[in-house]
Chain A
Amino acid sequence: MKKRKIGMALSLVLAAGTLLGACGKSDDTSKEESKGGEKEKAFSVAMVTDVGGVDDKSFNQSAWEGLKKFGADNGLKKGKDGFDYVQSKSDADYSTNLNTLARQDFDLVFGIGFLMQGAVDEIAKQQKDHQFAIVDSEVDQPNVASILFKEQEASFLAGVAAAMTTKSNKIGFIGGVEGAVIERFEAGFVAGVKAAKPDAVVDIQYAGAFDKAELGQSISSKMYASGADVVFHAAGGTGVGLFKEANDLKKKDPSREIWAIGVDSDQANMGPDVVLTSALKRVDNAVIDISKKAKDGNFPGGEVALYGLAEDGVGLAPINDKVSNKADIDTAVNEWIEKIKSGAVKVPGTRDELKTFSAK
């Protein structure tokens, strides 16, 4: 009885090993080869997504679109010698994936998302000959470029739009998981609201997750029920629930004026009747920019590359045509854009900064 079990277990491994091995021998040579032929080789770039994958309708997708565009502009093909991505299935995979890409000799490897900070830091230390970049976090290594965004500037504009649209003077904010990035969204948004309409109130709620649409829906349901007519989310997949709730309410009562504001990419397609605008975070532009610099030999290793309105790293999507005072909003938003770009207004990026912020 016991022996049989041992035999079974043993054979499991043998089976897995021999069968897979029979399928082909690895081409170990690729590593040595590439080291020798570095100069002739075309520039190649790759990215590691977090568990969301490249169709997450959020920053992974945005980053991948940037890479694709960069590839097209420079005549690169998808694959090992051009541009590619690897998806992580769990937190533990970040290191393996970053390392794999470095081993495959990509010239530049992006880690998308602050969750990858530890992994990028570690792999960058080991693979000193390779260039890395991390989005949404800082890694202090000479061969790592840290990409940060001034999300507060985008959400400030969203806040302005929200304040000018609301009739009830009640506005909702749904955050994903509390953290520095989402705090920038929150602070900027509140500042924008206050700047445009000082007596409007913002109800701030956190879902505690980026992937719980049902939670997003129940929070937004409560917000709308308590009188809020514009709700902004900075909650990734959780925000899908916001659009669902807004669409549902709109369907039930088409005369009711409720709006939702998207984040990261233009989410207008999530509900043509309810999406007011979106606070854009142009991860794609940042990825293209860093890739270009790296290709041209100007890789900003060890530096923090900060992308704001001025760098075209953030922005606001077009205002929904169905909003009655669209023209006014556009004018106001453009005014604020100028003020921010010129440095006349510094948008607060934390709750502390928000306390001392005044729009004038």
Chain B
Amino acid sequence: MSPAPSATGPVQGRGPQPVEGHGAGNPGQPSSTLTWSSRRLLDAILRVREVGIVAVLVVFVAVATSVQPRFIDPQNIKFVFSNAIIYALLALGETVVVLSRNVDLSVGSVLGLSAYLSSDLFSQVHHIPIVAVFLAGLAIGLACGAVNGAVVAVARVPSLVVTLATLYIYRAIDVLIVGGGMVVASTLPGAFLSIPTSSLGPIPYLAIAVAGTVAVGAYVLASFRPGRELYAIGSNPDAARLAGIPMGKRIFWSFVVSGGIAGLAGVLWAATYGTIDSTAGLNYELTVVAAVVVGGVNIFGGSGTVVGAALGALLLATINQALYVLGISSFWDPAIDGALIVLAISLDHWITLRLTRALRKGAVQHAT
């Protein structure tokens, strides 16, 4: 499969390509016509999203700290990270799906199912190694993701519908299995429960591991063919199909990745909270989608990065924590999250408009 790159703009092989991702911009615009200066402009603008989130984050932390200096207390920083970890992981998986113009609403239910089934293994199987429990959670997630992916890719049902259905189905399976019971902390080994709390100064080791995972994810998506093809599918599905991209295969695997990550996140959820009933991960999908959008990932696919999404999760966790620390009623939390989503989408729209204009200008200059 070797598409003609110049005909399909976004579908070029490897290496960061500033053009793709802006399906709304001008997908038919051959990138070879870009001048050096507009390339630089594009690069700069593309980075704005991540920079923008970091800026909002810094401002927020500064404001919170000026009101309550203990907000940057190492212990509080640790709390913020520990709350962001699970959302950042889920946002990573969600981004992989959203990039190809799909959505995975079942992540919270997959997390819940995995959290219970994997942590219950500690009481079912004596002396089971912790690694085996993580692998079990991963396997549960991969299986759930494979079901999602298969229905979306093979049966061609919109992912919104499929994962809305599995959101309920996976949760129902969870409730049927768990019943009125729960996994309690006394059945979990101490080494397992201390995974989320052990840290390097204020930064949990887990946060470092998640950051590493996000970095690997970012590299794979930016530099390898399957990753680039996800962007291409999201930018312009028709063009991607014409270019010979195996869309079904790519979309299937994106759901498998998202499911697997949700499965792993479930095991971490169990280790973090220690008490697991059938409500683990309830309503997480909306926060995850919010983190992804706030992180600058286009909800219609084709643009955005996993780094942005992870930063989005960190920003939401920070705001959440700030409200509790500052003693502001947590009823404000959803409102602030909502405002951030609107802000992020407006920013995205504005950037796209600017970009389109810049591209046109570049093309005109080149032509003359």
A, B from the same assembly: no
